[in-house]
Structure 1
Amino acid sequence: MLRQLHSLPGLLAALFVVLLAVTGAILSLNPALERLATVLPAAGQISVAELTGKLAKRYPETEQIVRTPSGTLIVYFTRDGQVGADRVNPQTGETIGPYEPSSFSRWVKNLHRSLLLDTPGRAIAGITALLLVTLTISGVFLLATRMGGWRQLLQPVRGTLSQRLHIEFGRVVIIGLLLSALTGVYLSAITFELISEGIEAEPELPQQVSSGIPAATNTLAALKAMDLTQLRELVYPYPNDPDGMYSLTTEQGAGYIDQVSGEWLSYQEHDATHVFYEFIYMLHTGEGLWWLGIILGLFALAIPVMAVTGPLIWWKRHSSKPKFAANSAANTADTVILVGSESNSTWGFAKTLHDNLVQAGYRVHSAPMNQLASNYRSAQRLFILSATYGDGDAPASAKQFFQRLEKIHQQPTFATAVLGFGDRQYPQFCGFAKKVEETLSAKGWPQLLPLDRINRQSPQEFARWGNAVGKALGSELTLVHIPTRPKTTTLTLAERVDYGVDVQAPTAVLRFIASENNTEINLISRLFKRSGLPPFDAGDLVGIIPPGSQVPRFYSLASASKDGILEICVRQHPNGLCSNFLCTLPIGGNIEAFIQLNPDFRPASGKAPIVLISAGTGIGPLMGFIRHNWAHHPMYLYWGGRSPQSDFLYEPELNTYLKDKRLTELNAVFSRTNDRAYVQDKISLDGEKLRKLIKSDAQILVCGGRDMANSIMTALNDILAPLDISVVTLKVQGRYREDVY
């Protein structure tokens, strides 16, 4: 419901919101430009009476003096029968120049307020402002849910480029947009008299004035007591009118002044409603707060970006839900697949499972988890594939699942298997799928397979789960699902360093350059003196397509594109299709690869210490972080290998980095020596030192296998116990980051 509340107004109002945003950004410049061209006297420096005295010589037929919220002083006058208006210097009364409002600004203002359509346009503008309020509020709640709670709002964002741009821009400008939208709605309500502006209480019009010769304006007591900085408007009486009077409006109120005695004839303070109206008007326009106008204008410029990325996200989500062929009815199917998805990506995996089961001869019914039926008459097995939304919450297509499940009391005749999709970087990794599995188990539903989880939509992990499903069914089942594959780049192996043969762990550091065959890329690189590589940083991932397979394998990058090479560290596995291909690739050999950004796995900016922990090839991205540590931030590396003689990865480079202070301390341990130890053992031994580093706001980055990462987490939790915190606490603070596999 929340997503629909956000998406529908956005799609309906996108064009109008962009129009109001762009025109609002243009208008936001006016107060600042006006402020630059304005001379502002200090408070108490000059009175209204003094000003009128200085103006009397140059403008003997003054009709009106207006002071704008930005401080511009305008004199309206008659000269030789012609009406004119000048901007004047308030300190000297000298003419600055004619007052000529910009016709372009006036046109933009009308476009902003009424879309050049008068009353109907004002109504559309008001409704658009109201929709923008809905968009901003629903967007905040959606963001909090997506990020896993309000405390996670400022954490790094994952997703497609459109998603990242939409969220990053949104959370920067959300307060400004909400302020502009709310004040716009208020002013629109004033326009249509839905609420009061608070000006009904006009000062009482005097019935009698003093008789006699009008006094000079610079002698009038009321004007002498009025500071110029409080002036809004002074209207002069008609010449030679014995019943005339001055009309004076200030920031505090308005009234009439006797032209003979100079005393107040009547005065009415602005009521609280009008004061509030003027405050809101100032917030919306920036008039009187030019710096706020500039800020709101800059914020408004984010709206076109969000108006483009928002529909792109919606369209991708809408179009990504696949169509299922041979989708049997719920009551006739022997196999049921229920899907919990937020952005429809899980549906792609479900379709792969659906199609393979149909080809194997099963009658399959696939549907959202929200459509859980009270009974599946012919079902023999139930598969639940579900993502997790936010902090362990149900995704959109599974919001009603537990409500429907509670109404089912009979024991099913079919067995269940739950597969979760998520990201290990988040504390509630596959949290909703885990709740589903625990609930089904508590209700006593038979289990076909235990809960399994897929990290970052890994095709390899999904294929592995498919093998387990095939064994459980007694059928051969190969699940090959490839999310939309990016365009690949041809890279050429330029250098390799081999390790680990003596300890039966052949490992290679491979360095690639852009292929000579990439004509377009190389032409651009020659023109701009670039490497020809796609942009990436250390810690990002490269997806490599091995020959004979359509499933990419991902490796963490040990270099950045600015280094001129793409560097990875690969261990050769006996049955590893991609690792065998890479570790036997000759110099000059080519690969097809693409970059997958991984912005959450890299050191945060700042001077806090950095603790890097890995084992085996997990050292790759950590080497990239150390290599680029030219600012010499404190960096401590903990790494585990097998033998210092055979597989001490990057040993020469590490010694160099120790000497030039890019690496503060190296702690390497080996499991095939007399002092046999693993990296988690060294972590435990250095507990006191690490505790001090963590108290000094140190951040920790861990890269390597899941088992190693779990051991590191256990060791660190023991170290952190005296501080009354845990690794989960550090994760929430953004100080503990993992890239594990």
Structure 2
Amino acid sequence: MLRQLHSLPGLIAALFVIVLTVTGAILSLNPALERAGTVVPAAGQISVAELAGRVVEHYPGAEQIERTPSGTLIVYYTRDGQVGADRVDPRTGQAVAPYEPSSFTSWVKNLHRSMLLDMSGRAVAGITALAMVVLAISGAMLLATRLGGWRQVLRPVRGTLSQRLHIELGRAAILGLLLSGLTGSYLSAATFGLASEGMEAEPEFPLEVAGGPPAAIDTLSALKATDLNDLRELVYPYPDDPTDLYSLGTDQGAGYIDQASGEWLSYQPHDATHRFYEFIYMLHTGEGLWWLGLILGLAALTVSVMAVTGPIIWWKRQRSKPKIAANSGPNAADSVILVGSESNSTWGFAKTLHDSLVQTGHRVHTAPMNRLAPHYRGAKRLFILTATYGDGDAPASANQFLARLEKITDAPDLSVAVLGFGDRQFPQFCGFAKEVETALAAKGWPQLLPLDTIDRQSPQEFARWGNALGKVLGIELTLVHTPVRPRTTALELAERVDYGAEVQAPTAVLRFKAPESGGKTGLLSRLLRRTGLPPFEAGDLVGILPPDSPVPRFYSLASASKDGVLEICVRHHSGGLCSGFLHALPVGGTIEAFIQPNPDFRPASGKAPIVLIGAGTGIGPLVGFIRHNTSHHPMHLYWGGRCPRSDFLYEPELNAYLADRRLSRLNATFSRVDERAYVQDKLIANGPELRRLIEKGAQILVCGGRDMAASVMAALNDIVAPLGIDVLTLKAQGRYREDVY
């Protein structure tokens, strides 16, 4: 509901919001530009009488002095039968420049206030301002919910470029947009009589005036008592008419002054409602608060970007809703998949599971978790795939699940497996999935598989869970889910380095290049060869399609495309389709591959130390990070292998990086020679040093197998415990990131 409340006004009002905010940003420059060219004396330095006395020396035919909210002084006068207007310096009363209102500014202001459509346009502008308020409030609530509460709203965000732009810009500009929207809505309501403007001071014109010869304007007591910074306008009496009066308007009120005695003859202050209206007007326009105008203008400029990224996010979310084929009825299925999703990403994994089970001969029913039925007549197993929303809450398609489950009194004759999707940086990682698992256990529902979790939609972890499920079901089940699988590129194996044969762990470093362009020469062919690789960075994933299989396998990249090669580190697993294919591939052989970005697994910028931890082939992306550390930031590598004589991966290169200081320290351990020590043992042995690095703000990057990663996390929790933190704290700070398979 909250997401719909945010999306619908944004989609409907997008064009009007862009017009309103762009014109508002343009208008916000005026107060600052006007203030930059204006002399504003300090409070109490110049009175209205002093100013008027200086003006009269240069403008004997002065008729009116006006002061704008930004402090510009304008004199309207008649000279030689011609009317004119000049901006004047308050210190001398002399002209600065002719006063010529900008026709462009007037047009922009009209577009901003009424869309050039008079009163109907003013109504549209008012509704659009109100929509901005709804968008700002609902956006803030969505952000707080997504990040786990209001205390976490400044936490780093992840996602696609459009998502990060939308959130970061919204987070930076939300207060400005809320202020602009609220004040704009109030001003629009006042235009249509739905809110009061109050009473602007309208003093009564005196019926009796003593008359007498006019006194010099700089001697009038009422003008001498009025500070220049309070002036709005001073209107002169008609020449040669002793009964006419000065009309003086100030920030506090307005009245009439006798030109002979200089005394107030009548005065009316503005009422409180009108002063409030003028305060709102100042907040909205920045007139009188030029610095606020610039802030609001910058905030308004972000809306144009968000008005584009918002529909892109909405469209991608709509497209991500998969169409479930061969979806059996709930009572005809032998397998039921229930899905809990907020942004539809979990549905893609559910579809992959659905399709794979159907291909193995199962009848499958897939539906949202909110459609949990009291009984499934023919079902033998139930799979629950659910994300967690915000701080452990249920996602949109599962917010009624627990209530429905509570009403089911008898344990069904089917076993259940719960798979949670989430992000380990959040304290409530897969919190709703765990809550569902606990509720099912309390109800006595038999377990098909223990609760498992998928971090950041990892395809490797999902495939691993599929292998475990296949063993339980007694079928071969390969689950590979790629939200959008890009077009593959043919790559040619250019070089290989083999390790590990002596310890029965054959491992190869493989380097691929784009195939040569058929012997063509010239500038064009050289450019083609140079750009033949798709763009990628060390730490991204490459999906490789082995022959006769539509299912890609993913490997972490040890190189960036600017290196001119695509480099991976692959261990040969017995019976492994893709690893067997790659290990048998001769130099000159080709593969079909595509890149899957992995932007969350990167060293942070800055001067803080980087601690790289891996084992086996997990060294691949870590070496890539070191290779590109040309700025010589402190990098410490912890890595575990089996035997230094057989599988010390990248040994010559690492020694070279130690020599040129791209690598600060290498801590390698080998299980076959170091009393069966593993990388986590090396971490514990170097605990004090690691603690010092973490105190200095170090970021930790871990790459390798799931069991290794769990052991590393346990070791680091013990190491950082004296600091009063744990690994979850480091994850929440973006200082602990994993690429685990």
TM-score, normalised with respect to structure 2 = 0.92
Shift of the alpha carbon at 1:369? 0.8
Q: Does 1:717 align with 2:703?
A: no
RMSD across aligned positions (CA): 3.0
Q: Please give the alpha-carbon distance, in whole angstroms, between the structure 1 residues aligned to 2:494 and 2:253.
A: 79
Aligned to 2:437: 437
Correspondence for 1:136? 136
Deviation at 1:509, TM superposition (A): 2.9
Conserved? CA contact 1:114–1:124, under 8 Å? yes
| Aligned partners of 2:541 and 2:556 also within 8 Å | yes
> 1:712: Cα distance to partner?
1.3
Cα gap change, 1:247 to 1:571, in 2 (>3 Å): farther
**Residue 6 of structure 1, CA deviation:** 0.9
Deviations 1:498-549 (A, max 9, x none): 33232222333333444445999x9889679975544433333333333333
Q: Please say if residues 425 and 734 of structure 2, whose CA atoms lie closer than 8 Å, have aligned partners that are also in contact.
A: no
1:164 paired residue number:
164
Say if 1:463 and 1:723 are closer, same or farther in 2 by CA, change over 3 A.
closer
Which letter maps to 1:405? L
Residue aligning to 2:642: 642
User: Corresponding residue for 1:383?
Assistant: 383
In the alignment, does 2:324 pair up with 1:288?
A: no
AA aligned to 1:290 is W
> Secondary structure of the residue that 2:111 maps to in structure 1?
helix
Q: Retained in 2: the 8 A contact 1:612–1:637? A: yes
More divergent stretch after superposition (438-447 vs 361-370): 361-370
1:127–1:616 Cα change, 3 Å: same
Report the 3-state secondary structure (helix = DSSP H, G, I; strand = E; otherwise coil) of the residue aligned with 1:633: coil
Note if 1:416 corresponds to 2:416. yes
One-letter amino acid of the structure 2 residue matched with residue 289 of structure 1? L
Deviation at 1:29, TM superposition (A): 2.2
Q: CA 1:664–1:256 in structure 2 vs 1: closer, same or farther (change >3 Å)?
A: farther
1:369 aligns with 369
Task: State how far apart, in whole Å, the 2-side matches of 1:359 and 1:612 are.
Answer: 41
CA distance in 1, matches of 2:585, 2:259: 99
Which secondary structure state, in structure 2, belongs to the residue aligned with residue 28 of structure 1?
helix
Q: 1:492, 1:515 within 8 Å by CA — same for their partners in 2?
A: yes
Q: 1:577 to 1:68 in 2, by over 3 A?
A: farther
Q: Is the 8 A contact 1:332 1:378 kept in 2?
A: yes
Paired letter, 1:502: E
Gaps of 5+ in 2: none
CA contact (8 A) 2:425 2:732 kept: no
Tell me the alpha carbon deviations over residues 79-115 of structure 1, each in whole angstroms, 9 at most, x when there is no partner: 3444322222333322233222222211111111111
Given residue 677 of structure 1, which amino acid in structure 2 is its aligned partner?
A
- 1:270-299 CA-partner distances (Å, limit 9, x unpaired): 454444433332332222333332332232
Partner of 1:120: 120
Alignment partner, residue 706 of structure 2 = 706
Retained in 1: the 8 A contact 2:419–2:453?
A: yes
Q: What is the deviation of 1:203? A: 4.4
- Aligned counterparts, 1:580-599, within 5 A: 580-599=580-599
Separation in 2, partners of 1:559, 1:674: 30
1:151–1:672 Cα change, 3 Å:
farther
CA distance in 2, matches of 1:152, 1:489: 41
Q: CA deviation at 1:188?
A: 1.7
Deviations 1:115-174 (A, max 9, x none): 112222111111111111111111112122223333443444333333233223222322
Gaps of 5+ in 1: none
Task: Assess, with a 3 A threshold, how the Cα gap between structure 1 residues 732 and 478 changes in structure 2: closer, same or farther.
Answer: closer
Contact 1:25/1:300 (CA < 8 Å) preserved in 2? yes
> Within 2, Cα distance between the matches of 1:252 and 1:547?
84
C-alpha separation in 2, matches of 1:347 and 1:142: 21
Residues 248-259 of structure 1 mapped to structure 2, 5 A cutoff: 248-259=248-259
**SS of match in other structure, 2:509:** strand
Q: Is the 8 A contact 1:339 1:369 kept in 2?
A: yes
1:99 and 2:99 aligned:
yes
Match runs of 1:289-688 below 5 Å: 289-358=289-358, 362-473=362-473, 477=477, 479=479, 481-517=481-517, 533-688=533-688
Once the two structures are TM-superposed, the CA of residue 466 in structure 1 deviates from its matched residue by 4.1
CA distance in 1, matches of 2:217, 2:203: 21
Does residue 1:733 correspond to 2:733, yes or no?
A: yes
Call closer, same or farther: CA 1:151–1:632 in 2, change over 3 Å: farther
Larger displacement relative to structure 2 (39-48 or 170-179) = 39-48
Structure 2: distance between partners of 1:684 and 1:475: 41
1:524 and 1:16 mapped to 2: Cα distance? Answer: 46
The amino acid that maps onto 1:401 is F
Answer with 147-156 or 382-391: which moved more.
Answer: 147-156
Using the TM superposition, name which of 707-716 and 574-583 deviates more.
Answer: 574-583
Q: Distance in 1 between matches of 2:472 and 2:180?
A: 59
Displacement after TM superposition at 1:656 (Å) = 2.9
Q: Alignment partner of 2:168: what SS?
A: helix
> Within 2, Cα distance between the matches of 1:245 and 1:263?
10
Q: CA contact under 8 A between 2:201 and 2:254: conserved in structure 1? A: no
**1:85-96 paired onto structure 2 within 5 Å:** 85-96=85-96
Counterpart CA distance in 2 for 1:476 and 1:407 is 36
For 2:294 and 2:490, the matched residues in 1 are separated by 46
Query: What is the SS of the residue equivalent to 2:313?
Result: helix
Q: Under a length normalisation based on structure 1, what TM-score does the superposition of the two structures give?
A: 0.92
Q: How many residues align?
A: 740
Separation in structure 1 between the aligned mates of residue 245 and residue 343 of structure 2, nearest angstrom:
69
In structure 2, what is the Cα distance between the partners aligned to 1:180 and 1:714?
A: 50
Match of 1:187 in 2: 187
Deviations 1:192-220 (A, max 9, x none): 23223343554454444442112222222
User: Partners in 2 of 1:153 and 1:290 — Cα distance?
Assistant: 29
Deviation at 1:485, TM superposition (A): 0.6
* CA pair 162-115 structure 1, distance change in 2 beyond 3 A: same
Q: Provide the C-alpha distance between the structure 1 equivalents of 2:362 and 2:511, rounded to a whole number of angstroms.
A: 47
- Counterparts in 2 of 1:58 and 1:515: CA distance versus 1, 3 Å: farther
Q: Per the alignment, in what secondary structure is the counterpart of residue 613 of structure 2?
A: strand
326 and 729 in structure 1: CA distance in 2 versus 1, 3 angstrom threshold: closer
The change in CA–CA distance for 1:698 and 1:343 in structure 2 (over 3 A counts) is same
Hey, what's the Cα distance between the residues in 1 that align with 2:497 and 2:599? 27
Aligned to 2:73: 73
Separation of aligned partners in 1, 2:698 and 2:200? 62
Q: Distance in 2 between matches of 1:9 and 1:336?
A: 36
Determine helix, strand or coil for the equivalent of 1:4.
helix
Deviation at 1:348, TM superposition (A): 2.8
Q: Aligned pair 1:235/2:232, yes or no?
A: no
Partners of 1:580 and 1:546 in 2: CA distance = 9
Q: Tell me: CA distance 1:347–1:679, structure 2 relative to 1, closer, same or farther (3 Å).
A: same
User: Which digits, 9 at most, give the CA deviation of each residue in 1:647-681, with x for residues without a partner?
Assistant: 22232333333333332222221112145421111
Deviations 1:213-234 (A, max 9, x none): 1222222223233333332222
